């Protein structure tokens, strides 16, 4: 297939530079740029988001890798030299979110910033990062779904270059990366349209609900899930996100309506 993509974009001083790294870096930059614009609108000091980014990104990557390694310890305990090989893939979104949340909370406390306000600013940027970053999985030929036919993929009106690259290990696969990328774009649009009607913390809650629902169903299609017993870990986390998001949204609505508070999100 002429459209089959090489995970390596080019070589620099004989070292391979992977598309995965280029795309993830681009996703981080665009997510940061959007967060910086949001922070400016909310009256935060200049470079607040940059200061947070410089601390949060390395910690989020460490947590994302540790999360993946811990739940695949049966493999990495026997292949310890591969633990740091993130260029071969193997980072978990939820691990990164946990690391990022811890960092943001501590950062906000130190800077005397409102944590919910910061999370409301960051939430849309997370969707931007995921929307773009999932294409790194595409170039790495990973995070794919169950076996399907080419005819099935063609009925979805997917571009041929995507279909060709879904031929992995001798069969065509569900392009789960694409489903998540498209859903994150839709979720982003929904949040941007509704945020002026939301109270503090509700942008985050809406993100938790929308992303959690998508991730639960898409995770069920994937063949590389991490498990606890017979349960897919990401599905359990997704259900928890949706539940917490709904509880917060309902509770917050009741409290703010009683106190007749005005919406604070644009």
Domain assignments of the chain as residue spans, ordered by start: 8-258
Q: What is the pLDDT of residue 85?
A: 74
With a pLDDT cut of 90, the percent of the chain lying above it is 78
Average pLDDT, the chain: 92
pLDDT value for 80: 83
Give the residue, 237 or 2, on which the prediction is more confident: 237
- How does pLDDT run across 142-166, given as a tens digit for each residue? 999 999 999 999 999 999 999 999 9
Q: What is the largest CA-CA distance in the chain?
A: 65
Distance, in Å, from the CA atom of 156 to the CA atom of 128, rounded to the nearest integer, reads 23
- Residues 84-112, mean pLDDT to the nearest whole number: 89
Contacts of 215-222 with C-beta under 8 Å, sequence gap 24+, read 215/93, 215/180, 215/241, 216/242, 218/145, 218/176, 218/179, 218/180, 218/183, 221/145, 221/146, 221/174, 221/176, 221/179, 222/143, 222/144, 222/145, 222/174, 222/176
Cα(98)–Cα(237) distance, integer angstroms: 11
Q: What is the pLDDT of residue 258?
A: 65
Judged by DSSP in three states, 168 sits in strand
- Of residues 184 and 4, which shows the higher confidence score? 184
If you average pLDDT over residues 220-230, what whole number do you get? 93
Q: What pTM, to 2 d.p., does this model score?
A: 0.91
* pLDDT exceeds cutoff 60 at 262: no
- Token pair 């691990």 in the structure block, residue: 95
Q: Which residue has the higher pLDDT, 157 or 81?
A: 157
| pLDDT above 90: residue 77 | no
In the predicted structure, residue 179 carries a pLDDT above the cut 90: yes
Q: Is 83 or 53 the better-scoring residue by pLDDT?
A: 53
Residue 186 scores a pLDDT above 60: yes
Q: Is a pLDDT exceeding 70 seen at residue 236?
A: yes
Helices (H), 42-92: 48-70, 73-76
Tokens representing residue 69 in the block: 């390694």
Contacts of 98 (CB under 8 A, 6+ apart): 63, 67
Query: Counting Cβ atoms within 10 Å, is residue 246 exposed (0-12), middle (13-18) or buried (19+)?
Result: middle
What angle (nearest 5°) sits at the alpha carbon of residue 114, between those of residues 193 and 213? 45
């Amino acid at each position: 297939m002429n459209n089959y993509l090489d995970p390596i974009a080019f070589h620099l001083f004989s070292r391979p530079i992977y598309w995965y790294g280029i795309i993830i870096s681009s996703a981080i930059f665009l997510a940061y740029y959007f967060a910086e614009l949001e922070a400016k609108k909310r009256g935060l000091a200049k470079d607040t988001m940059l200061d947070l980014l410089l601390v949060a990104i390395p910690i989020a990557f460490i947590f994302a890798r540790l999360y993946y390694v811990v739940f695949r310890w049966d493999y990495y305990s026997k292949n310890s030299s591969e633990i740091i090989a993130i260029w071969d893939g193997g980072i978990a979104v939820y691990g990164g979110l946990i690391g990022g949340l811890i960092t943001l909370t501590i950062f906000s406390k130190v800077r005397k910033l409102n944590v919910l306000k910061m999370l409301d600013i960051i939430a849309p940027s997370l969707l931007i990062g995921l929307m773009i970053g999932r294409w790194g999985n595409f170039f790495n030929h990973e995070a794919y779904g169950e076996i399907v036919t080419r005819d099935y993929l063609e009925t979805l009106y997917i571009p041929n270059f995507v279909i060709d690259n879904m031929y992995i290990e001798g069969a065509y696969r569900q392009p789960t990366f694409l489903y998540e990328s498209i859903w994150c774009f839709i979720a982003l649009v929904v949040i941007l349209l509704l945020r002026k009607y939301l109270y503090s913390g509700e942008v985050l809650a809406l993100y938790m609900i929308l992303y959690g629902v998508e991730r639960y169903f898409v995770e069920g299609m994937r063949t590389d899930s991490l498990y606890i017993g017979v349960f897919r870990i990401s599905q359990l986390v997704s259900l928890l996100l949706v539940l917490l998001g709904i509880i917060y949204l309902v509770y917050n609505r009741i409290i703010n309506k009683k106190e007749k508070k005005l919406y604070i999100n644009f």
